[in-house]
Every structure is written in C-alpha cells, then in structure tokens.
Structure 1
C-alpha cells in the first residue's frame, strides 16, 4: 500500500480537494466522481459526501493509496 502524508495548513480540507492536492486525481471534479462512486474511505468507513471536511489526524484510503492528514 502506498502511503502519502499530507500536511494540512488550515483547519480542514474538503475530501474532493484533498484527493486532488495529494495527487490521487487530476481535478476536484474527478475527486467528486471518485467519492460519489463509493471508492473512498475516511477512517475506515465509506464516505459519499464529496465535500466532507477532513481534519488533521484523519486518514483517507482509495484503493491501494492511504493519505494520512497531519497538522502543518
């Protein structure tokens, strides 16, 4: 499994934007489509809210990629 550590420079980042900023997808629109498909898990649970607020300490999984969000 590939692990990415994402440094958060604000209170939260929207899930679809996190996928784009971490390089997992090309755009926020693509991120929304991926989330809507049910392929994304936040802290182990399927997340379908495209603009779900992701905060420091949470982890997001998409396939074989895990993004750990840490305070910047």
Structure 2
C-alpha cells in the first residue's frame, strides 16, 4: 500500500507537529501521551521523541494509523 504524502513547506517538521498535521492527534499537549501508547517508526526505527526532525523523503509508520511519506511542497 502506498504511503500517504504529508506536505511540508519548511526544511523539516518535528514529529509532534507531524502528528498534528496528519490529523492523528488533536493538540500538541496530547502528543506526549500518544507516543507512550502507540509505536511510531521513522525510516524503520522506533522513535518516541516529540522533537525528532523529519525531512522530505522520511517514511513514518504510525501504529494503527498507517504509513506516511514526508514530501516538500
């Protein structure tokens, strides 16, 4: 299955911001709790850091939500 593209205008996006942009969480405050309960893989490796920088080309897989590709707008 093809990953869903998430477009960014900046050089990178932080994982917490990505989760909001992809409509996975409602607010920044819920990101911390979400990352405790759901596995997030960045380029095949688990990463639970809200501040993890995601760049165009990165593949993010969120448990129960699917795969997402970061692309430059």
Change (3 A) 1:31 1:4: farther
C-alpha RMSD over aligned residues: 1.8
Contact in 1 for aligned 2:25/2:31 (Cα 8 Å): yes
Instruction: Output the TM-score relative to the length of structure 2.
Output: 0.83
- Stretch of structure 1 that moved more, 60-69 or 1-10: 1-10
- Aligned structure 1 segments of 4 or more residues deviating by more than 3 angstroms: none
Shift of residue 38, structure 1, vs aligned partner: 5.6
Instruction: Output the TM-score relative to the length of structure 1.
Output: 0.84
Matched residue, 2:34: 34
In structure 2, runs of 5+ residues without a counterpart are none
